DNA sequence: TTATTTAATCAAGTGTTTTAACAAAGTAAA
DNA sequence: TTTACTTTGTTAAAACACTTGATTAAATAA
């Protein structure tokens, strides 16, 4: 569940929040009776809770489900038209913005270039412009947005709504990102790390559905991990959990941008892969990559060549996979997650990487955790983080609705007549 | 808090459980008003909750605390005489049993040899004999025990009350440990991994008080870690989280008992340290250890010699520390804990190990998490796990009391006249 | 049509928490 | 000493959430 309550918070509407989350993430819909069993309440109690949620427009009754005997249960579902949210996924070089309904279905999407190094003022202005354009394209007013989930490629302190000592976001340190956007858009904002959101997205609607604990490995130009523990994002004590990219995999390895030697990222990140390819081409080795101008030689091109059967490119990818596998084996030994999901630009370019990762993990992990853990590719492709941001936004919107912090915007999306 | 409630459980008496945990682990006692603030309830509600807890004999009112202005608050404390529990810590070669009151104060303790390889039947008979003897020594009847916390050196599925595929517990796989002891002693039993319990013990009463997340590294003959996440034991999806001993720290390292190469345990565990010392002595190097018969040359002896200034011994210990530090740096990058606590037999033999661990971590960890994390030695010494087992036992006992599952055994420990 | 089964609801009662007023126990200043 | 002030803790009535136990609803099978 997303809505856990620690002992130091009040438990007002706790069961309403639980119920709506169970409904949201149920794979085949769920009835009042099933909810009652799962929540340890009586059916009578669920009748009242569900009535309230129905009146708020948060959920709706779908058609009944056929059962062998007795009265068929009424299946409850989230009401997609219960409200509208936005999701923003900022990468090092891209910006992905989406509008979504309460069922996390994306209504409109925009993919733009972005240079995170331009700093917060410039980038957030770009984000603002992008979102307003997207809203205009769909004839939606900003005031109809109930919440926005935002992802950034750096360590986030969620409570503070800012990043701290980010390695690749110069100028962003301690900039009040959330407060800034909140002021600009006038609705609740949730700020998270992009790998965290990837993990959440895959947990909610991707390859990690139903898992209690999972790790999402984002292999892009750098390498980061997002962790779901007890069905919740785990960000660590100071927001920098999941820094798998800077684990030492070889004491005597090359210098990394972080100042240490032999970091995973220096072996297997997109930048490292491109660098290796360039060196290979320069050495005069016979490869498909020779035809590509050096300045365009990216990890993506290496992946493409590998899929076309270029052996030297395959070797580079597989070597990267082996190093990632070593790091994941360590993660599996420490965390014992139910699933490890490989995502990010580099990972999505083919099965070769995943295969070699899987093999490396198999060779190095202890028996018990290895038996349980599934290593798979991200189901949501390049939208893992965007979906995670959507999930966070819907979280806020729905739970605000339950707490009556929001006017009820029922059927704002093309209401039936 | 120890008493979290996931969304799929009922929340009966939730606030009573929360309140008693806040009282138990408050460092300087806590008043009704403070509790109300921390729990998000009104003072009126707390009056009633506290009255109930007082009537159950779970807590008691201590003397008032002086404040600059206004009526002085009444400080609430756990009632040590609220009940009696036992704790059992089983190691590879030792068995530690204790009786404790509700304030986790140890009333009586027994330290016995044990060979875990003898299997469950024989070992549990030994545990049973030990506990009954300890009870007899203190004139306490078995029926007065309200709960027992048990720790074992293997991966535990707490819900099932058994270990799965333990590396060093032959014959124990899937043996119903908890059910067995429950039947023998007729009270609630909690079964956990020993490193988990070490982490819990240090979190509750040791070097990790007040931390949200921490890792406890147990450096004994092997190396294991216990994780506290969100103030709770995190055991992983299949109970085998924290297997730090089998993280690969050098691809080309020596063969480990687990079948892989270059595991941390093969470099820095107690057995590995002893092995290195033996090799060193055999090589004829000038060292204090030469005077010790080979069969008695343990990691403990190496530690002793190192403290006496024996350079070769110091080198072995520091090398072990460096490797442990490499693994911990990885853990810190992944987990971003608030504290890392080094415990276990080898760690307790001196500061040399901790110092070299600290340095290795400093060199390899990312800036942000490094700033936050404290690396310290276990405060509870060899009793970390035993204290953790006590905490678990008191947990069960107290929360059973609140749910009225237990008769109220008030003042069974030498009641005042 | 009737029996059976399972789902959902209703009405009365229980227990917990809030609201709002008040009592208690201290300090500080008149 | 009295009074004002501050903070803690209590009380009683009302609000609220949930349970209990009975009832209604909607399906299948005989």
Q: Which pLDDT tens digit goes with each residue over B256-298? A: 877 778 889 989 999 999 999 999 989 888 888 888 888 889 9
Tell me which residue in A41, A247, A369 faces B330 most closely, judged by beta carbons: A247
- 3-state secondary structure at position A229: strand
Q: Which of the residues A256, A266, A319, A366 would you substitute to probe the B interface, choosing the one with the greatest number of B C-beta atoms within 10 Å? A: A366
Residues of A in contact with B334 (CB under 8 A): 225, 227, 241-244, 247, 330-331, 334-335
Distance of CA B114 to the CA centre of its chain: 19
Q: Least CA distance to B339: which residue of chain A?
A: A237
Determine contact, residues A83/A52, Cβ cutoff 8 Å. no
Strand D lies under 7 A from the Cβ of residue B54: no
Q: What distance in Å separates the CA atoms of residue A11 and residue B17, rounded to the nearest whole number?
A: 13
Cβ neighbors of A56 (< 8 A, separation 6 or more) are A82, A401, A402, A408
Beta bridge partners of A85: A100, A147
Q: Which of the residues B248, B263, B323 would you substitute to probe the A interface, choosing the one with the greatest number of A C-beta atoms within 10 Å? A: B248
- Which CATH superfamily does the domain covering B210-378 fall into? ATPase, nucleotide binding domain (3.30.420.40)
Supply the pLDDT for residue B414: 27
Q: What distance in Å separates the CA atoms of residue B196 and residue B235, rounded to the nearest whole number?
A: 7
In terms of C-beta density within 10 A (0-12 exposed, 13-18 middle, 19 or more buried), how is residue A122 classed?
Answer: middle
H helical segments located in B56-167: 120-137
Q: Which of the residues B159, B203, B238 would you substitute to probe the A interface, choosing the one with the greatest number of A C-beta atoms within 10 Å? A: B238
Closest CA to B39 of A12, A325, A34: A12
Closest CA to A218 of A195, A184, A191, A236: A195
Supply the pLDDT for residue A163: 96
User: Each residue of A32-66: b (16+ CB within 10 Å) or e?
Assistant: bebbbebbbbeeebbeebbeebeebbbbbeeeeee
Strand A156-157 relative to strand A59-64: parallel, antiparallel, unpaired?
unpaired
Q: What distance in Å separates the CA atoms of residue A254 and residue A267, rounded to the nearest whole number?
A: 8
- 3-state secondary structure at position B216: strand
> Token digits for B385?
């796990």
Q: Least CA distance to A164: which residue of chain B?
A: B368
Q: Closest approach of chain B CAs to the CA of A308, in angstroms?
A: 31
Q: List bases in chain C with any atom under 7 Å of a protein Cβ.
A: 4-11, 16-21, 23-28
Q: Closest approach of chain A CAs to the CA of B134, in angstroms?
A: 36
Closest CA to A202 of A80, A325, A104: A104
Closest CA to A65 of A19, A96, A22, A29: A29
Residues of A in contact with B329 (CB under 8 A): 247-248
Supply the pLDDT for residue B261: 80
Protein residue nearest nucleotide C11, by CA to C1': A44
Determine contact, residues B177/B185, Cβ cutoff 8 Å. no
Supply the pLDDT for residue A370: 65
Closest CA to A108 of A390, A394, A408: A390
Beta bridge partners of A319: none
Supply the pLDDT for residue A251: 76
Residues of A in contact with B228 (CB under 8 A): none
Q: Pick out chain B residues at pLDDT < 50.
A: 1-2, 4-10, 406-417
Closest CA to A146 of A103, A82, A83, A78: A83
The dihedral sign for the CA sequence B284, B286, B291, B292: negative
Q: CATH assignment of A14-78?
A: 1.10.10.10
Protein residue nearest nucleotide D6, by CA to C1': B70
A86: enclosing H helix or E strand: strand A84-90
Chain B 49-68 contacts with nucleic strand C (CB below 7 A): 49, 64, 68
Residues of B in contact with A395 (CB under 8 A): none
Determine contact, residues A413/A101, Cβ cutoff 8 Å. yes
Supply the pLDDT for residue B12: 63
Question: B83-200+383-402 is classed in which CATH architecture?
Answer: 2-Layer Sandwich (3.30)
The dihedral sign for the CA sequence A79, A83, A89, A95: positive
CA angle B185, B191, B192 (to 5 degrees): 155
Q: For tokens 């008043």, what's the residue?
A: B31
Determine contact, residues B346/B352, Cβ cutoff 8 Å. no
Is A82-200+383-402's fold the same as A211-378's? yes
Tell me which residue in B10, B241, B368 faces A336 most closely, judged by beta carbons: B241
Q: Least CA distance to A14: which residue of chain B?
A: B7
The dihedral sign for the CA sequence A190, A196, A197, A200: negative
A211-378 fold: Nucleotidyltransferase; domain 5 (3.30.420)
Residues of B in contact with A164 (CB under 8 A): 368
User: Each residue of A288-315: b (16+ CB within 10 Å) or e?
Assistant: bbeebeeeebbbbbbbbbbeeebebbbe
State the nucleotide closest to A52 in CA–C1' terms: D17
The dihedral sign for the CA sequence B364, B365, B367, B371: negative
Supply the pLDDT for residue A12: 65
> Token digits for B242?
């924290």
Closest CA to B335 of B212, B155, B239: B212
Q: Where are the domains of chain A?
A: 14-78, 82-200+383-402, 211-378
Q: What distance in Å separates the CA atoms of residue B2 and residue B17, rounded to the nearest whole number?
A: 9
Spell out the CATH class of A82-200+383-402.
Answer: alpha beta
- pLDDT tens-place values along chain A, 417 residues long: 445 444 444 456 788 988 999 999 998 889 999 999 998 899 999 999 999 999 989 999 998 787 888 899 999 999 999 999 999 999 999 999 999 999 999 999 999 999 999 999 999 999 999 999 999 999 999 999 999 999 999 999 999 999 998 989 999 999 999 999 999 999 999 999 999 999 999 999 999 999 999 999 999 989 999 999 999 999 999 999 999 998 988 877 878 877 778 889 989 999 999 999 999 988 888 888 888 888 889 999 999 999 999 999 999 999 999 999 999 999 999 999 999 999 998 888 778 999 999 999 988 886 766 678 999 999 999 999 999 999 999 999 998 888 765 444 333 332 222
Determine contact, residues A240/B336, Cβ cutoff 8 Å. yes
Chain B 8-27 contacts with nucleic strand C (CB below 7 A): 13-15
DSSP character string of B22-70: HHHT-TT-B-HHHHHHHHT--HHHHHHHHHHHHHTTSEEEEEE---SSS
> Token digits for B274?
């002893």
Q: What distance in Å separates the CA atoms of residue A280 and residue A271, rounded to the nearest whole number?
A: 14
Q: What distance in Å separates the CA atoms of residue B163 and residue B176, rounded to the nearest whole number?
A: 8
Longest Cα separation, chain B: 75
């Amino acid at each position: 569940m997303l809505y856990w309550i620690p002992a130091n918070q009040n438990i007002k509407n706790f069961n309403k929040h639980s119920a709506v989350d169970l409904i949201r993430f149920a794979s085949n819909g769920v009835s009042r009776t099933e909810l009652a069993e799962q929540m340890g309440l009586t059916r009578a109690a669920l009748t009242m809770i569900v009535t309230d949620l129905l009146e708020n427009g948060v959920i709706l009754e779908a058609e009944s489900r056929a059962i062998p005997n007795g009265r068929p249960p009424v299946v409850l579902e989230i009401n997609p038209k219960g409200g509208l949210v936005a999701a923003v996924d900022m990468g090092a070089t891209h910006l992905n913005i989406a509008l979504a309904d309460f069922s996390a279905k994306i209504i409109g999407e925009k993919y733009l270039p972005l240079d995170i190094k331009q700093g917060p003022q410039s980038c957030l202005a770009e984000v603002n412009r992008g979102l307003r354009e997207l809203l205009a394209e769909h004839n939606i007013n900003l005031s109809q947005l109930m919440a926005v989930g935002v992802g950034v490629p750096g360590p986030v302190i969620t409570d503070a709504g800012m990043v701290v000592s980010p390695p690749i976001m110069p100028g962003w340190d301690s900039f009040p990102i959330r407060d800034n956007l909140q002021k600009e858009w006038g609705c609740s904002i949730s700020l998270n790390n992009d790998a965290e959101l990837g993990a959440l997205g895959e947990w909610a609607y991707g390859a990690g559905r139903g898992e209690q604990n999972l790790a999402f490995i984002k292999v892009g130009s750098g390498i980061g991990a997002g962790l779901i523990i007890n069905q919740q994002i785990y960000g660590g004590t100071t927001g920098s959990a999941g820094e798998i990219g800077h684990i030492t995999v070889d004491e005597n390895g090359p210098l990394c941008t972080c100042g240490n030697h032999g970091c995973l990222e220096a072996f297997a990140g997109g930048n490292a892969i491109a660098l290796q390819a360039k060196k290979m081409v320069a050495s005069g080795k016979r490869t498909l990559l020779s035809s590509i101008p050096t300045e365009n030689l990216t990890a993506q091109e290496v992946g493409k060549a590998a899929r076309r059967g270029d052996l030297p490119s395959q070797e580079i990818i597989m070597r990267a996979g082996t190093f990632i596998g070593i790091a994941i084996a360590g993660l599996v030994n420490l965390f014992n997650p139910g699933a490890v999901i490989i995502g990010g630009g580099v990972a999505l370019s083919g099965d070769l990487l995943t295969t070699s990762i899987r093999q490396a993990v198999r060779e190095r992990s202890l028996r018990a955790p290895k038996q349980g853990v599934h290593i798979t590719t991200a189901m949501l492709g390049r939208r893992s983080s965007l979906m995670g941001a959507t999930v966070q936004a819907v979280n806020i919107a729905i739970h605000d609705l339950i707490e009556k912090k929001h006017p009820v915007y029922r059927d704002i999306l093309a209401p039936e007549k």
